[in-house]
Amino acid sequence: MTDIATRVYNHTWKIDPIVRSVLDTDFYKLLMGQTIFNRHRATRVTFGIHNRSTHIRLAEIIDVGALREQLDHVRSLKLTRGESTWLRGNMFYGKRQMFSPDYVAWLEGFRFPAYHLEKRDGQYELTFEGPWVETTMWEIPALAIINELRSRAVLKGMGKFELQILYARAMARVWEKVQFLKTLAPVNIADFGTRRRHGFLWQDWCVQSLIEGLGEGFLGTSNCLIAMRREVEATGTNAHELPMVYAALARNDEELAWAPYQVLADWQEDYDGNLRVILPDTYGTSGFLKRAPDWVAHWTGIRIDSKDPVEGGEEALAWWQARGQDPRDKLAIFSDALDAEEVARIHRTFLGRMRLGFGWGTLLTNDFRGLAPNGALDPISIVCKVVSANGRPAVKLSDNPTKAMGPAEEIERYKRVFEVGEQVARHALV
C-alpha cells in the first residue's frame, strides 16, 4: 500500500501528476461523451469553474504557475493501448462493447483542448470553449487539479512526522465510517469522489478501504482509472450537463419544456438496464415528475441529488405508485453531500420500500475537516458547469436555489416555463 505521507513529503509533481490519465475521470463522462459524439458533435459549449465557497480565495492560495503546469500536463495526455483495450473489451453494467468502435477510436485520438485562465477578485476564472464532445472532458480533471493544488499548498509547510499523523487520523476517520456503514448491511455504496478529492493517491486508498471493509456492499468507483487498476466496477450514468445544453439549444418555450425529456429519449436509445436512471432535479424534481411522459416511469430508477433525501425519496415512491409501478422493483441512488450518518438515516427510512444505492463523494475522498489549522483542508463547494451552448446562456435551477446558475433574466424565464415556485434553500456543503 502506498505511503501517502512520504510521497507528499518527498513530492515532485512529475512523479505524482494530479491527473495521470485520460481515464482519470468519472465514468459518466464517457457515457455522456458517447451520446454527445453520436448526436451533438458540432455543438459548441463553454464550461466554467465556479467556486461557491467564495470565502476561500483560491487565487491567493494556489500558485498560477503550478495551476498552468498541471493544466498543460493534462493537454499532453492521450489514451494508452491498455486503456483502449479496457474500454473496448471490458464488461460494464453486464454489457460488453458498451462503447462503439467509432467512439473509442475518437478517444484514442483525443487531446484536451485549450483553456482560458485569469484571476478576478481573488478567484480563478477558468473556462473551456469548443466542441462539446471535447470541452466536456475538462470538467473532472479541472476540478481535481484545483482541489489537489489547494491541498498541496496547505501541506507544503508540514514536516514528515506531522504529515504521518495527519494521514493516520484521516485514515482512521474513513475506516471508522466504513465499519459503521458495514453494520447497515445490506448496504450498496459506490465511490463518487473524483471531482473534489484530496488527491489521486488518497482516492485510491479510500477505494481500497471500501473494497476490504464493505465487501459485496461496495458497488464500485466512478473513477475509470481506479476501476481499471483495482478491477472493480466503473459506476455512473449521466449528469445535469445534458439537460442544461439541450435546454440552452431550445428555440422556444415549448422546446425548452420538452428538453429534459428529449435527453431521456436519446439516452434510452443509447443505453438500457441500470443506466436508465433519471436525474430529475435540473429544473425542479416535482415539476419534472408531474409532467413526465408515462414511459419515463418504466425506467430502472432515479438519482436524488439536490433535494432533502428523505423528502425526495418519498416523492419518488409516491410518483412510481401513481404511475402503476412497484417501488420495490425500482432503484433510488442518493448522492448529495452524503456522509455515513446521512446514509444511515436514508437507509433506515427506505430499506425494503425500494432498492437503494449511495454515491459517496467528497466526504469520502476529502474529509480532512478539522485536521489542519483554521479549516485549511476542509472541503469546498466548487463546480465546473456549462456556461453556454452555441452562444446561448445555460441555466440550472436545481431543487436547491443556492445551486442555481445562469443569467438572472434566464433563470426567471426557466422558472416560468418549468413552473417552479418557492424553493427552500439548503446549505451547499459540497
- As a whole number of angstroms, the distance between CA 313 and CA 106 comes to 39
Contacts of 287 (CB under 8 A, 6+ apart): 418, 419, 420
Closest by Cα among 387, 338, 394, 326 to 366:
338
Residue 49 forms beta bridges with which residues? 384
- 387 touches 393 (CB < 8 A): yes
- pLDDT reading at 12 higher than 80: no
Per-residue pLDDT at 429: 60
| DSSP strand pairing (116-120 vs 392-393) | unpaired
- 225 touches 20 (CB < 8 A): yes
Per-residue pLDDT at 15: 73
- pLDDT reading at 13 higher than 60: no
- As a whole number of angstroms, the distance between CA 152 and CA 11 comes to 9
Secondary structure of residue 360 in the 3-state scheme: strand
- 64 touches 117 (CB < 8 A): yes
- 231 touches 91 (CB < 8 A): no
Its pTM stands at 0.95
Q: What is the pLDDT of residues 56-104, one digit of tens each?
A: 999 999 999 999 999 999 999 999 999 999 999 999 999 999 999 999 9
Q: What is the pLDDT of residues 201-230, one digit of tens each?
A: 999 999 999 999 999 999 999 999 999 999
Residues in the chain: 430
| Amino acid present at 412 | E
- As a whole number of angstroms, the distance between CA 395 and CA 105 comes to 32
Concatenated DSSP letters for 224-285? Answer: HHHHHHHT--B-----THHHHHHHHH-SSHHHHHHHHHHHHHHHHHH--GGG-EE-TTTT-H
Q: Please, which pLDDT band fits residue 6 given cuts at 50, 70 and 90?
A: confident
Q: What is the pLDDT of residues 317-336, one digit of tens each?
A: 999 999 999 999 999 999 98
Closest by Cα among 264, 246, 319, 262 to 289:
319
Q: List phi, psi (to 5°) of 348.
A: -60, -35
- pLDDT reading at 426 higher than 90: no
Q: What is the pLDDT of residues 163-189, one digit of tens each?
A: 999 999 999 999 999 999 999 999 999
- pLDDT reading at 421 higher than 90: no
* Cα angle for residues 202, 359, 399 (degrees, 5° grid): 125
Closest by Cα among 305, 312, 355 to 335:
305
396 vs 9: which has the higher pLDDT: 396
Distances (CA, A) of 40 to 27, 86, 206: 19, 25, 36
Integer-rounded Cα radius of gyration of the chain: 21
Average model confidence (pLDDT) for the chain? 95
